[in-house]
Amino acid sequence: MIHRDGIDWIQEQKGVYDVLIIDRPDPVGPGKKLFQPDFYQYVYNSLKDDGVVVFQSGSPYYNTSTLQGTFKNLKELFPIVRTYLVTIPLFPCGIWSFTIASKKMDPLQADLTKLQHTDTQYIDPEIFRASFVLPKYIKEIVDGKDS
């Protein structure tokens, strides 16, 4: 386990990760720098050529600016950026967004025959595909029409 400032640590990682999963605090205080363009660049630099990153991008209802900023910053660096939704009943409004970005891999082209879902309570190929279908109000957020 590593206990360090995430900004300092990620700057040292160059092309070493296949997958990064990033869960950040709210964009206030020390956590604010994890929402700045420099951080997204460091993440991009830390991934291998076919690497994938997933950001927790907040409630599309209560954290509109977090979702919009995450999508915008990733879109400036990555050719493939997709937001998807999951149901988390304990979270505000019950719907939560995650945004995935990659230099080469499009989740909409994933081979779902390899998805291990037999003993799961949630994910299966239908839910996987459906999670990327966004309601109009969320499409407007990621398209930058909701400011």
Q: Which residues are catalytic?
A: 23
What is the C-alpha separation between 31 and 111, in angstroms, rounded? 35
Q: How many CA atoms lie within 13 A of 106 on its CB side?
A: 4
What is the C-alpha separation between 12 and 115, in angstroms, rounded? 32
Instruction: Return the ∠ at Cα 127 (arms to 122 and 128), rounded to 5°.
Output: 105
